[in-house]
C-alpha cells in the first residue's frame, strides 16, 4: 500500500510537469492539435515492444481487451486535452482540475452500480459531499479563470468530456489489472503490470489517426523541422507522461482506484503554483502563463476541486 501511495504521488508530480511543459510549448512547437496528438501517440507505443520482451506470462484475453479499450478511451481524452490546451481557450490550471475531477466520474459510476447491486463498496454521505464541493470548485474556476472570455460552449463541453473520458479510462485500467490478477499464471502485481500494459499502450497509440486527413499530414510535414528542433522539450513531456500513467496503473493492483486517483489528482496545485513560478522567476510570458486575476479566489477554487475529489474518492485500501 505504501509503495502504491508513493507511486501515486510520483504520478501527480509527473502529470503536473506534463501540463507545464505542454503550456510552455504552445504556439512555439505545434501549429495544430493533431501534431502533439500524433507525437504523443507514437511515443506511447514505444513501451509496448519492450514490455512484450519482458512479459512473464500472457494475460487473460479479457484483461488484454479491457486494457486496450482503456488505452483507446485515454486517447480520446488526450485529443480533447490537446484541442483545448492548444487553443485560445486553453488554461492549464482549469484543465488540470477537470482531469483531477475524473474521480467524481468514478464515484458517479459507483453510485449507479450500487443502485443496481453490482458494486462492492459502501458509499456514504461524505462521497456526495465531495462531489458537491468538487463541482463548486470547477464552477468557481470557470468564473474566475484568466481566459474565461474565450471558453465558449464548445470548449466547455470538451472540458466536461475530457473529465468523463479520463474517469472512464481509470475505471477500465483498474478493471484490466484486476482481471489479470485473477489469472493462475500471474502471481505478483508487477507481473500483472508487465503482461497487461502493452495492450494499454497500443490502445493509446491509436491516436496516430489524428493526422489521417490530408490537410493534417501536410501541416505536420510543413512544421516537422520546427517540431524536431524542440525534441528535448517533447522528450521531457513524453517521459513525464509515461511515468505519470505507468505509476498510476501499477498502483491500481494494490490499492483502490479511487484512492490512487485522488492522490494522483493533486497535480493541479503543482500546475497552478508552477505556472506562477515559471512566469515570475524564469521569464515565461503572460500569454503562456497568464497573471492570476483573482489569486485568492482561484487558490480557493483549486483547493476546492482537490478537496472535493479527495472526499469523493475516499475509500479504504484493499
pLDDT 10s digits, 194-241: 888 889 989 999 999 999 999 999 999 999 999 999 889 889 988 898
Average pLDDT over residues 75-89: 84
Give the pTM: 0.77
Q: Can you give the residue range of the structural domain that contains 230?
A: 2-312
Stated length of the chain: 318
Q: Residue 67 has what pLDDT?
A: 93
For residues 248 and 197, the answer to whether their CB atoms sit within 8 Å is no
Phi and psi at 94, nearest 5°, equal: -65, -45
Q: What is the pLDDT of residues 243-260, one digit of tens each?
A: 888 887 777 666 666 667
Q: Is residue 144 in some structural domain? A: yes
How far from 103 is each of 23, 90, 168, CA to CA, in Å? 24, 22, 9
**Cβ-based neighbour number of residue 287 at 10 Å:** 8
Please state, in angstroms and rounded to a whole number, the distance separating the CA atoms of residues 282 and 276.
10
Q: What is the pLDDT of residues 91-123, one digit of tens each?
A: 777 777 777 777 777 777 777 776 776 654 556
What proportion of the chain, given as a percentage, has pLDDT over 90?
Answer: 16
Q: Is residue 248 in some structural domain? A: yes
Q: Is 281 exposed, middle or buried (0-12, 13-18, 19+ CB in 10 A)?
A: exposed
Q: What is the pLDDT of residues 120-156, one digit of tens each?
A: 455 667 767 877 787 787 777 767 766 555 567 788 7
Average pLDDT over residues 271-284: 81
Q: Is residue 318 in some structural domain? A: no
Q: Is residue 317 in some structural domain? A: no
Whose cell is 453490482? That residue is 118
Q: Residue 219 has what pLDDT?
A: 93
Average pLDDT over residues 150-178: 82
pLDDT at 302 over 80: yes
> Structural domain tally of the chain?
1
CA 80 to chain centre: 11
Please state, in angstroms and rounded to a whole number, the distance separating the CA atoms of residues 197 and 63.
10
Q: Is residue 97 in some structural domain? A: yes
Which of 38-52, 63-77, 205-219 has the lowest average pLDDT?
38-52
pLDDT at 89 over 70: no
**H or E element at residue 275:** helix 267-281
What does pLDDT average to over the chain? 80
Which of 30-39, 65-74, 173-182 has the lowest average pLDDT?
173-182
Query: Binning pLDDT at 50, 70 and 90, where does residue 292 land?
Result: confident
Q: What is the DSSP letter of 314?
A: -
Please state, in angstroms and rounded to a whole number, the distance separating the CA atoms of residues 143 and 159.
14
Residues ≥6 apart with Cβ < 8 Å to 204: 41, 44, 45, 71, 72, 74, 75, 78
**Cβ-based neighbour number of residue 79 at 10 Å:** 22
Please state, in angstroms and rounded to a whole number, the distance separating the CA atoms of residues 279 and 316.
39
Q: Helix 257-264 to helix 231-251 angle, to the nearest 10 degrees?
A: 150
Query: Binning pLDDT at 50, 70 and 90, where does residue 27 land?
Result: low
Q: Residue 151 has what pLDDT?
A: 60
Amino acid at each position: 500500500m505504501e509503495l502504491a501511495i508513493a507511486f501515486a504521488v510520483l504520478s501527480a508530480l509527473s502529470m503536473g510537469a506534463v501540463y507545464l511543459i505542454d503550456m510552455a510549448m504552445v504556439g512555439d512547437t505545434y501549429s495544430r492539435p493533431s501534431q502533439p496528438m500524433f507525437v504523443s501517440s507514437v511515443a506511447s507505443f514505444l513501451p509496448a515492444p519492450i514490455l512484450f520482451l519482458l512479459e512473464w506470462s500472457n494475460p487473460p484475453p479479457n484483461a488484454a481487451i479491457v486494457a486496450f479499450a482503456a488505452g483507446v478511451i485515454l486517447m480520446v481524452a488526450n485529443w480533447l486535452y490537446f484541442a483545448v490546451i492548444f487553443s485560445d481557450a486553453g488554461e492549464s490550471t482549469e484543465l488540470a482540475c477537470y482531469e483531477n475531477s475524473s474521480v467524481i466520474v468514478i464515484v458517479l459510476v459507483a453510485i449507479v452500480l450500487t443502485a443496481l447491486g453490482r458494486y462492492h463498496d459502501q458509499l456514504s454521505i461524505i462521497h456526495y459531499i465531495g462531489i458537491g464541493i468538487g463541482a463548486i470548485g470547477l464552477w468557481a474556476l470557470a468564473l474566475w479563470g484568466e481566459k474565461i472570455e474565450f471558453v465558449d460552449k464548445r470548449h466547455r463541453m470538451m472540458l466536461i468530456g475530457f473529465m468523463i473520458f479520463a474517469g472512464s479510462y481509470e475505471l477500465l485500467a483498474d478493471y484490466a489489472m484486476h482481471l489479470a490478477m485473477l489469472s493462475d499464471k500471474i502471481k505478483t502485481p508487477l507481473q500483472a503490470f508487465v503482461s497487461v500494459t502493452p495492450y494499454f499502450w497500443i490502445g493509446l497509440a491509436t491516436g496516430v489517426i489524428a493526422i489521417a486527413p490530408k490537410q493534417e499530414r501536410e501541416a505536420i510535414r510543413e512544421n516537422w523541422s520546427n517540431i524536431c528542433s524542440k525534441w528535448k522539450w517533447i522528450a521531457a513531456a513524453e517521459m513525464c507522461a509515461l511515468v505519470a500513467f505507468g505509476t498510476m496503473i501499477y498502483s491500481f493492483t494494490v490499492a483502490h482506484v479511487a484512492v490512487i486517483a485522488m492522490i494522483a489528482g493533486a497535480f493541479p496545485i503543482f500546475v497552478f503554483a508552477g505556472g506562477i513560478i515559471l512566469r515570475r522567476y524564469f521569464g515565461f510570458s503572460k500569454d503562456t502563463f497568464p497573471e492570476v486575476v483573482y489569486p485568492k479566489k482561484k487558490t480557493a477554487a483549486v483547493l476546492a476541486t482537490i478537496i472535493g475529489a479527495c472526499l469523493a474518492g475516499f475509500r479504504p485500501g484493499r
